Structure 1
Amino acid sequence: MYELKNHMEIVVQQALQDYLRQNTITCSCEHCQADIMALTLNRLPARYFVSLQGEILTQIESQALPDQARIMAEVVRAAQQVSATPSHPNNQ
């Protein structure tokens, strides 16, 4: 059985961690991070792979500067949205 993976999840997770290291948002709990990931991934094209070769090709393609800039822009947009209206009570 092949395992289907979305390379964009890996890239967005890294971009989110980079963003959170350099910026403060209202809440950066696991729930808010998952919300940011979901919002970001819904705005970006999926990049699925099932093999090591496919993963390597996908990684090479994702190194293009416009992609990196778009990914970070979507992370920032989602982080601002979640920070403004977290989907959980403030006491978390």
Structure 2
Amino acid sequence: MLKNYMEDVVDHILPAMLRAFPDICTCEQCILDIKAITLNHLKPHYVVTQKGEVYSRINEMHLQFQTDVMKAIIDAIDIVSNNKRHG
């Protein structure tokens, strides 16, 4: 199994971040755009073993790591809010 662990991190943090922005569109297209932009601005973190995933979970607990992910999500929300791809 090859997996970009950052996808799990974004999936975990994104719902709480969206609640902080009640005016943002939460249709499937906007959510996918937010996730894609966020992941494109974060360094990928690939894991292939259970041990690698455990290490990644420990790394996720660090404050700077969480701050970096949250900033990337906020930036993506701002981009999508100002450039919706639907009517």
Using the size of structure 2 for normalisation, the TM-score is: 0.92
Looking at structure 1, the residues matched to 49 and 24 of structure 2 have their Cα atoms a distance apart, in angstroms, of 39
Partner of 2:54: 56
Task: List structure 1 segments (4+ residues) > 6 angstroms apart after TM superposition.
Answer: none
Where does the alignment leave 5 or more consecutive residues of structure 2 unmatched?
none
Partner of 2:26: 28
Looking at structure 2, the residues matched to 66 and 58 of structure 1 have their Cα atoms a distance apart, in angstroms, of 14
Looking at structure 1, the residues matched to 15 and 41 of structure 2 have their Cα atoms a distance apart, in angstroms, of 18
Q: Percent identity?
A: 38
Which of 12, 15, 25 in structure 2 is aligned with 1:14?
Answer: 12
Q: Residues 13, 25 of structure 1: CA spacing in aligned structure 2 closer, same or farther, 3 A cutoff?
A: farther
Answer whether contact 2:24 2:77 (CA < 8 A) is retained.
no
Looking at structure 2, the residues matched to 44 and 18 of structure 1 have their Cα atoms a distance apart, in angstroms, of 18
Looking at structure 2, the residues matched to 7 and 36 of structure 1 have their Cα atoms a distance apart, in angstroms, of 17
Partner of 1:69: 67
If you compute each CA radius of gyration, which structure gives the higher value, 1 or 2? 1
